[in-house]
Amino acid sequence: MNFKKNYILLFLLIACLSCKKSEVKAIQAQIIPAPNSLKLLKGQFLLSSETHLIYDEELEPVVAYWKSLVTSVFGLNTGKSNIIRFVFDDAIQNPEAYRLNVKPEEITINASSSKGAFYAVQTLIQLLPPEFANGSLNTDGIYIQNLKIEDEPRFSYRGMHLDVARHMYPIDFIKKHIDMLAMLKMNTFHWHLTEDQGWRIEIKKYPKLQEIAAYRDETLIGHYSDQPHQFDGKKYGGYYTQDEVKEVVAYAQERFVTVIPEIEMPGHSQAAIAAYPQLGCTGEQVEVATKWGVFEDIYCAKDETFDFLEDVLDEVLELFPSKYIHIGGDEAPKTRWKTCDNCQARIKSEGLKDEHELQNYFITRMEKYLNSKGRQIIGWDEILEGGLAPNATVMSWRGTEGAVEAAKSGHNVIMTPTSHCYLDYYQSDTDDEPLAIGGYLPLEKVYSFNPIPEELNEEEAQYVLGSQGNIWTEYMPTEAQVEYMAYPRILAIAEVNWTKSENKNYENFVTRVENFHRRLDVLNINYANHLYEIEGGMTSENGRSFYELTTLTKGKDIRYTLDGTEPTLNSEVYTSQIPITESVKIKAAVFNSEKQLGKTFTQTINYHKAVGAKITIDKEPHKSYPGSGAEGLINGISGSDTRYGDKEWLGFWGDDIEITIDLGKEKKIKSVETIFYNANGQWIYIPDGVQIGFLNSKNEIVFPFVEQLFEPITRNTWGINFDYDEWFITRYIVFKIRNYGVIPEGKQGAGNKAWTFIDEIIVN
């Protein structure tokens, strides 16, 4: 026996037993969504393998979830040094509410259901370093700041939607998404499973849904508005097997997330009709759609279709225990129904007025079927067409009017207006954003959303169950791109739904989002970071104009130049508004003491003759698209020509408008130009016509009204220029703008009023 060797081994053993891994310091409470009451207290709790668990049986599932997390960090839980106590407390009214008390010797969680306790645990996880959640932390103990939280959600429906038809993602990604919903205390996953471009759920009775409807021949390249359309020539598709669906539903259930499937009807059903042409009105073969949009081949309202849909739903109901089943209902053109013998016979035999009432018949008949199976339907707000099915819940997406109408008639509503909840819209107006469908919905606008429409009184507001972010995936071919569009805006959706208005604060939220980046990094999430971007704005006072620069996060410098050069660490630090007295190009960026953090912001200011003048519009812009008010039309700044939702564009829904600019005194001018947005997929049309006229100080016409008429275009914008050969004197400039009118059949949004979007009016 070699004494020396054993001695060394013994020494190593002792050294190792005493080599404590370091303990982790308490982190600042930075919880998203913000708890409704949080008090920080003195002292800390040390979470370690010595922490003992005591719990009431009712909360056992959550204790098991917590135990598995702790075990993966510290090994087996054996000790008795301090306690985490899970208390079943049926005095707590709301099953989703919880109390969390962190004291030096004990953490107490009170809840009246596992769901509430689960949310307490999610809060606790956010009080720990990000590495705790994925088990990658290597430590003996973690300190937690003492505090007291009393928390409950503002709304009972806190949802996220995902379209897996335009593009499809693996089951593991769906689970990762559900994990994040759970972390953010969201309780509903709306799984959009069928579309014109693909059918994604296995239905055993109809094998052609798997063979044919699940695959499209190819996919549109680039943006829909890029003409002519080009295709990639690659077959695309797939579907989730029923076993996979079961796995997702069970996974979600363990995380207190309800999965609501959406089976679209009567529209957005071209893939199913491609598989079974007899489900359409014409019986003709169609293809699974290869581009985006609204398609005229919808389900025929004949018995065979209803039999098919009932069979499909029978299998769907077996897989999804959710109380609600989403039946779509949106964007169903009535073209085929108008000329179909079967549909017309149905209209007659049921005593219906027209095809809109046939839509109502369709939805109501399917509702009856689902009600008979103990389920309730949700439909997009088009289900209000021709009357509302008796027990339906309305998902309001075309603004909030549908929600108001439904709530006033005693129906539940879920708010998902495009203006605040469509996460497929651009989140930044910088030029290098990845291709998106259009629009502009920055983080702050999502955060500002109040799901209760102003038009509802307190009693009617009870019908608003909550809101939901929607992720339509036409332009999201990869998981990374879905995450880029979802984060960080999903954090805002979570807080909109959970945190009461009086406890919300955007500045504070942004600080938490910045801090949350590290958590998202650890969880391997491809979030967008626009926090270090700069916002600029013109202000005018007594005819003098100034430019203001702001950025979201604290403790950093904005540096800028006015000569068109790139800002550097040596450039001037912005401290107060920059006076503007001539046309100029401002470049600015956010810096810390070492380097530039975000992208360079560039603003060209065109100091034309109307900048700082008085302007009035006879209508208010729509509250979802106020731009920077009427003054924004003469602030020397032109908005993006790819994002109509920015601060420069004003949106009007269906109104004719009259704009008057008062130059303050008579001035010599020669030309006036302005610009309108055109995005027919988003229901935005250039005006039917625009008139312009000029008046002097005595209100006498100095130049009679001239008119420029609508011309069909496919580009994003329509600029008009009234350019005169001679200089002339005027004080007032009057624009009369005629809205396009009602959107014609066959176009997206057919039958709805068109929007008018206008930007800078440039006077020279």
Taking CB under 6 A as the criterion, the residue among 397, 527, 694, 732 binding ligand ACM is 397
Q: Which does 47 bind (CB under 5 to 8 A by kind): ligand ACM, Zn ion, none?
A: none
Contact between 264 and ligand ACM by CB under 6 A: the answer reads no
In the DSSP assignment, the letter for residue 503 is: G
| Tokens encoding 90 | 């049926």
Q: Bridge-partner residues for 201, per DSSP?
A: 240
Q: Which does 330 bind (CB under 5 to 8 A by kind): ligand ACM, Zn ion, none?
A: ligand ACM
Number of residues forming the site for ligand ACM (CB under 6 A):
4
Nearest approach, Cβ of 316 to Zn ion (angstroms)?
A: 23
Nearest approach, Cβ of 365 to Zn ion (angstroms)?
A: 14
Contact between 347 and Zn ion by CB under 5 A: the answer reads no
Q: Which does 133 bind (CB under 5 to 8 A by kind): ligand ACM, Zn ion, none?
A: none
Contact between 262 and ligand ACM by CB under 6 A: the answer reads no
Taking CB under 5 A as the criterion, the residue among 31, 160, 281, 669 binding Zn ion is 281
Residue 342 or residue 752: which is nearer to Zn ion going by CB? Answer: 342
| 349: alpha, beta or left? (left if phi > 0; alpha if psi -120 to 50) | alpha
Which residue intervals of 341-500 are DSSP H helices?
A: 341-349, 355-372, 401-408, 418-421, 443-447, 458-461, 479-486, 489-498
CA 163 from centroid of its chain's CA atoms: 13
d(CA 122, CA 514): 19
Taking CB under 5 A as the criterion, the residue among 144, 165, 343, 465 binding Zn ion is 343
* Angle at 693 (CA atoms; ends 688, 694), nearest 5 degrees: 160
Residue 305 or residue 756: which is nearer to Zn ion going by CB? Answer: 305
Closest to 646 (Cα-Cα) out of 622, 623, 625: 625
Contact between 73 and Zn ion by CB under 5 A: the answer reads no
Could you write out the DSSP letters of every residue in 192-254?
E-EETTEE-B--TT-HHIIIIITEES--EES-TTSSS-EE----EE--B-HHHHHHHHHHHHH
Say if residues 95 and 113 touch (Cβ distance below 8 Å).
Answer: yes
Q: Which does 300 bind (CB under 5 to 8 A by kind): Zn ion, ligand ACM, none?
A: Zn ion
In the DSSP assignment, the letter for residue 684 is: B
Residues acting as catalytic residues? 331
What residues between 11 and 40 interact with Zn ion by CB under 5 A? none
Nearest approach, Cβ of 301 to Zn ion (angstroms)?
A: 6
Contacts of 109 (CB under 8 A, 6+ apart): 59, 84, 85, 86, 87, 98, 99, 100, 117, 120, 121, 124
Q: Which does 397 bind (CB under 5 to 8 A by kind): ligand ACM, Zn ion, none?
A: ligand ACM
Candidates 107-115, 298-306, 420-428, 639-647: pick the segment binding Zn ion (CB under 5 A): 298-306
Residue 257 or residue 275: which is nearer to Zn ion going by CB? Answer: 275
Nearest approach, Cβ of 190 to ligand ACM (angstroms)?
A: 11
Contact between 401 and ligand ACM by CB under 6 A: the answer reads no
Q: Which does 380 bind (CB under 5 to 8 A by kind): ligand ACM, Zn ion, none?
A: ligand ACM
Edge-to-edge strands of the sheet including 544-551?
534-541, 544-551, 578-580
d(CA 397, CA 417): 4
Q: Which does 531 bind (CB under 5 to 8 A by kind): Zn ion, ligand ACM, none?
A: none
Nearest approach, Cβ of 223 to ligand ACM (angstroms)?
A: 17
Taking CB under 6 A as the criterion, the residue among 74, 86, 380, 475 binding ligand ACM is 380
| Tokens encoding 692 | 């312009």
CB crowding 267-282: b at 16 or more within 10 Å, else e: bbbbbbbbbbeebbbe
* Per-residue contact string for residues 310-349; x = within reach of ligand ACM by CB under 6 A: --------------------xx------------------
Contact between 292 and ligand ACM by CB under 6 A: the answer reads no
Nearest approach, Cβ of 717 to Zn ion (angstroms)?
A: 39
Locate tokens 């937690």: which residue?
Answer: 144
Residue 362 or residue 380: which is nearer to ligand ACM going by CB? Answer: 380
**Cβ-proximal residue to ligand ACM, closest one:** 330
Nearest approach, Cβ of 397 to ligand ACM (angstroms)?
A: 5
Nearest approach, Cβ of 271 to ligand ACM (angstroms)?
A: 16
Residue 130 or residue 749: which is nearer to ligand ACM going by CB? Answer: 749
Closest to 439 (Cα-Cα) out of 450, 459, 425: 425
Closest to 480 (Cα-Cα) out of 442, 424, 534, 528: 528
Contacts of 521 (CB under 8 A, 6+ apart): 130
Residue 149 or residue 392: which is nearer to ligand ACM going by CB? Answer: 392
Mode of pairing for the β-strands spanning 425-426 and 438-440 = parallel
Nearest approach, Cβ of 330 to ligand ACM (angstroms)?
A: 4
d(CA 361, CA 402): 19
* Angle at 475 (CA atoms; ends 244, 531), nearest 5 degrees: 100
Q: Which does 281 bind (CB under 5 to 8 A by kind): Zn ion, ligand ACM, none?
A: Zn ion
Residue 335 or residue 529: which is nearer to Zn ion going by CB? Answer: 335
Q: Which does 199 bind (CB under 5 to 8 A by kind): ligand ACM, Zn ion, none?
A: none
Provide the residue type at 723 as one letter: D
Which residues would be at the binding site for ligand ACM (CB under 6 A)?
Answer: 330-331, 380, 397
- The residues that touch Zn ion, with contacts defined as CB under 5 A, are 281, 300, 340, 342-343
